[in-house]
Amino acid sequence: MKKKLFTLNLIFAGIALFAFSCSKQALLQPAPVMTASSAVLPVTNAVADRVIETGMSLAQMNAVIASANAGDTVKIQAGTYTITGKIVMKAGVKLIKQTTTNPVFDASALSTILTINYNSEFNNCLFSGITFWNIRFAITGAKNTTLKYCLFDYGKRAVATNKTNNLKDDYLEFLSNDSALVTNSVFCHRSADPGRGVWVKNTTNARILNNTFGNGGSTGYFVCAINDNSLAGSTISSNILNRNTALNPIDSLTDHGLYAHSFNGLVISGNTISGWPANGSGGAVKVRNGQNVTISGNTMNGSGVLLYEYSNLPAFPYLKNVVVSGNTINMSATGNDAYHGIGYYRDNAIDMEYSIKINNNMIPAGTIWLNGANLNVANFNANGGGVYSNQTAAGNLFLKTGISNSGNY
């Protein structure tokens, strides 16, 4: 019996010694420090995890992007990032915001707008949910590029520029691109620095969809919202173009709301365009020297559609296969001219118009003016061209004799 008690005492002593040693060891270890951030988020390696973190410099941001491969997504934390040079992209990489708050890429400290040039390294790239201050992108020779849910603001014009001198006042310029998409984005220009929004040049299959250009007030100082000089397949649809009328209508900076020339294949549909004056420098939509264009289902306030053919574009000495259909043009006044509704003018004697059809438009207080001395009636009427079933102000249908027409009232 004594032997058993002795054995049990040894066992209990061992357990006590073990417990004491563990307790001592625990006392010697530093207690973990818990913070609010460490309690919620794991510690991350920004480069390895492809996260641009608040407070990073441009060089650090570029290092994160450099770590990504085609198909990867780089997330951007909310915050304001100072941009002084190029955001270096890689083909196929996507930059998107990490939270519901747009990160701000800020170049507003620079005296003029910062132009960032991209080529094929922007193939298949995406910018989504980013705010850009005083930054423009000139993208040449790329394909399948997308910018969506972005905001562009505070662009600064170069000194002594106007609408024909140094036109680098657009936020996005696409040159010789294929399948560029700009959608659900907002473009702003302020009173001291009026400018442009998006310009597509020699592009194919460009799409400009569901964007907002200006608010008609403090962010609506637009020279021109959208310029199109596309090769084929361009679609400009469901955008809101809202210029501040305080920008002097005869100012040398005024250059139409949506301005297209030298194009082949263009759809302009479902846009709402307001604030451009009803004169030669204005017009909600101006289309000249090109072919195969449909202007349909748009709402225009204050000015309408200008169809022109000038002699100063010898590569496109014509205006062919034009349809202007189903638009609503709200004018405050009529006029016996091309500016107060829908008008056509040609000063070119090398070639001429062909198949221009104007039908089912509502211009309750405006004018349809197709009365230029150079207009060739037979070519205007060709292939279904003519003026049909439009509503205009009483007595304000000015058509050159011989233009096909019916059902207008």
The per-residue pLDDT for 36 is: 30
d(CA 27, CA 230): 74
CATH number, domain containing residue 230:
2.160.20
| Amino acid (1-letter code) at residue 90 | K
Looking at the structure of the chain, the number of domains it has is 1
pLDDT at residue 308 tops 50: yes
Are the C-beta atoms of 187 and 194 separated by less than 8 Å?
A: no
Q: pLDDT tier at 249 (50, 70, 90 boundaries)?
A: low
The per-residue pLDDT for 46 is: 74
Are the C-beta atoms of 113 and 148 separated by less than 8 Å?
A: no
Query: Is residue 4 assigned to a domain?
Result: no
- pLDDT tens digit sequence for 67-115: 999 999 999 999 999 999 999 999 999 999 999 999 999 999 999 999 9
Residue 272 Cα distances to 16, 138, 222, 223, angstroms: 84, 26, 15, 17
Residue 149: domain span = 90-406
- pLDDT tens digit sequence for 195-236: 999 999 999 999 999 999 999 999 999 999 999 999 999 999
Query: Is residue 347 assigned to a domain?
Result: yes
**Percent of the chain at pLDDT above 90?**
76
Query: Is residue 19 assigned to a domain?
Result: no
pLDDT at residue 131 tops 90: yes
Query: Is residue 57 assigned to a domain?
Result: no
Query: Is residue 245 assigned to a domain?
Result: yes
Better-predicted residue by pLDDT, 199 or 18? 199
The per-residue pLDDT for 11 is: 37
- To the nearest 10°, the Cα dihedral for 337, 315, 145, 255? -30
Q: Which residues contact 392 (CB under 8 A, 6 or more apart)?
A: 341, 363, 364, 366, 367, 368, 408, 409
Query: Is residue 55 assigned to a domain?
Result: no
Q: Which residues contact 11 (CB under 8 A, 6 or more apart)?
A: none
Better-predicted residue by pLDDT, 246 or 58? 58
pLDDT at residue 160 tops 80: no
- pLDDT tens digit sequence for 260-298: 999 999 999 999 999 999 999 999 999 999 999 999 999
> Cα angle vertex 226, ends 154, 191, to 5°?
30
The residue-averaged pLDDT of 4-12 equals 39
pLDDT at residue 153 tops 90: yes
Query: Is residue 208 assigned to a domain?
Result: yes
Among candidate residues 406, 291, 398, 308, the one with its CA nearest the CA of residue 355: 291
- Provide, for the chain, the percentages of residues in helix, strand and coil under a 3-state DSSP scheme, each rounded to the nearest 5: 15, 40, 50
Better-predicted residue by pLDDT, 206 or 315? 206
As a whole number, the mean pLDDT across the chain is: 88
Query: Is residue 25 assigned to a domain?
Result: no
pLDDT at residue 306 tops 50: yes
Residue 238 Cα distances to 121, 213, 275, angstroms: 30, 12, 17
- To the nearest 10°, the Cα dihedral for 175, 155, 187, 260? -40
d(CA 222, CA 388): 34
- pLDDT tens digit sequence for 353-394: 999 999 999 999 999 999 988 899 999 999 999 999 999 988
- To the nearest 10°, the Cα dihedral for 369, 375, 380, 386? 20
